[in-house]
Chains A and B, each alone.
Chain A
Amino acid sequence: DAMVIQNPRYQVTQFGKPVTLSCSQTLNHNVMYWYQQKSSQAPKLLFHYYDKDFNNEADTPDNFQSRRPNTSFCFLDIRSPGLGDAAMYLCATSRAGVETQYFGPGTRLLVL
Chain B
Amino acid sequence: ELKVEQNPLFLSMQEGKNYTIYCNYSTTSDRLYWYRQDPGKSLESLFVLLSNGAVKQEGRLMASLDTKARLSTLHITAAVHDLSATYFCAVGSAGGTSYGKLTFGQGTILTVHP
List residues of chain B with CB under 8 Å of any chain A CB.
31, 33, 35, 40-45, 48, 50, 88, 92, 94, 97, 99-102, 104-107
A: interface residue count bin: 20 to 34
The answer to whether A48 touches B105, judged by C-beta atoms less than 8 angstroms apart, is no
Contacts of B88 in A (CB 8 A): 42-43
- Looking at A63-71, A73-81, A99-107, the stretch in contact with chain B turns out to be A99-107
The answer to whether B105 touches A42, judged by C-beta atoms less than 8 angstroms apart, is yes
- Contact A98/B50 with A42-B107, A45-B102 known, Cβ cut-off 8 Å: yes
A33 to B99, CA, bound (A): 12
Residues 77-104 of A contacting B (Cβ, < 8 Å) = 90, 92, 94, 96-104
The answer to whether A100 touches B45, judged by C-beta atoms less than 8 angstroms apart, is yes
Q: A41-B107, A97-B101, A103-B43 are in contact. List 20 more A-B contacts (CB 8 A).
A: A31-B100, A33-B100, A42-B88, A42-B107, A50-B100, A55-B97, A90-B42, A96-B100, A97-B94, A97-B99, A98-B50, A98-B92, A98-B100, A100-B33, A101-B33, A101-B45, A101-B100, A103-B35, A103-B44, A106-B42
